[in-house]
Amino acid sequence: MASIRRTLSPAYHDRSYQNGANSAFPVATSPSHKFLPNGKYSSSPFPSINASAVSLRRFFSSRKIWRNSLYRCLMFFVLGLVFGMTPFGHVTDIENRDVFFEIKPPHVNVQLDRDNGDRISKRDEIVLDSVSLGVDLRNEEKMVESYRYDFAPTKQLIVITPTYNRAMQAYFLNRLAQVLRLVRPPVLWIVVEANAASFETAEMLRKTGVMYRHLVCQQNSSNVKDRGVHQRNAALEHIERHRLDGIMYFADDDNVYSIELFESLREISRFGTWPVAMLAQSKNKAILEGPVCNGSHVIGWRTNEKSKRLRRFHVDMSGFAFNTTILWDPKRWRRPFSNPIRQLDTVKEGFQETTFIEQVVEDEYQMEGVPSGCSKILNWHLHLNSHNLAYPRGWLLQKNLDAVLPL
């Protein structure tokens, strides 16, 4: 490999240098070049080997630097994680403190000036009482005692009303709807019509402001004395199919109800009953039928009709309510059978209630008296039937619920 060296000027040819030791301007030599003792300049026979060695030294030195940096980062990360997980000091919970916020407004001076010829000045000093917004949070033990972990949301009331076309249908449905509007929600009103759903009934239900479901019973009930049997069964099937949760109550549209009755229904856990006052068929006396209670325990029954002494439970159809989960969750209530609970259309008149209740409960020990002591009359069954009620002469029934007098 050819070497290139710089020629010295003639003035300096007489000077001899050894490796540039005594030169005023030392000559820098590369690793592959060096000066010989006799002053000659020679190059190394292996320059590529020297360059490779230099590059290797640089590579290993840079690799060592990166390795040290990585070790330092890892060490600081571990230290930060350890310090972050170590609790320093104590965190005081706000529940263990008594916090009080008190706002004391300044005195307000009111100057009243009136200009009526003479200037009247009146100075009144109005002092506002201090307003304190106190948040008194006691110890954790006291807070646990004050909290109610058994709190349950308001139970839904499911009211079933069978109805059919007759002269006083609009009056009965509107009267019951006005009562349900005053009941604290949630309330679901299931209205069941026979044969077909009328447009007038659906329009009236939309105007009531009560959450409702309008059902239709297709079964023929002309040969059944109690035409509401199949309609109630249709509502029971609807509740069982959709697994509606709440307290179910049969409310015929021709009865009279109090708001206190519906509020007391939410206290029922399984099956509740109460006495019902009804007007006798002769319309000359009132009959009280229902349970005799000792507190909330049912210990007997009230009845005045000898023909109904054979009944197991002396209750009117509007004198009981029960939890709907009994219909679609028999395991929860440990029912011995899982057959659908329905009203029977083959029993005699007056035995519909007792045969139905026998499917829900076994005896009086599974019943609750509502209200406590059964000492209040919460609804009336007046037997105001309108089967033979006709419109006055000249009146026309143009719609299902509206009777008009043509001009």
**Segment holding 81, helix H or strand E:** helix 47-85
Q: Say how many residues make up the chain.
A: 407
Q: Which residues contact 294 (CB under 8 A, 6 or more apart)?
A: 373
CA distance 315 to 3: 127
CA distance 215 to 220: 15
CA distance 361 to 336: 11
Is 353 designated active site? yes
CA-closest candidate to residue 291, choices 270, 308, 276: 276
Choice among 193, 289, 353, 364 that is catalytic: 353
CA 85 remoteness from chain centre: 37
**Burial class for 378, CB neighbours closer than 10 Å (0-12, 13-18, 19+):** buried
Q: Which residues contact 267 (CB under 8 A, 6 or more apart)?
A: 368, 370, 371
DSSP H helices, 216-318, are 228-242, 259-265
199-207 and 169-181 helices cross at what angle (nearest 10)?
Answer: 20
CA distance 98 to 402: 65
Asked if the peptide bond before residue 371 counts as cis, ω within 30 degrees of 0, the response is yes
Catalytic residue annotation = 353
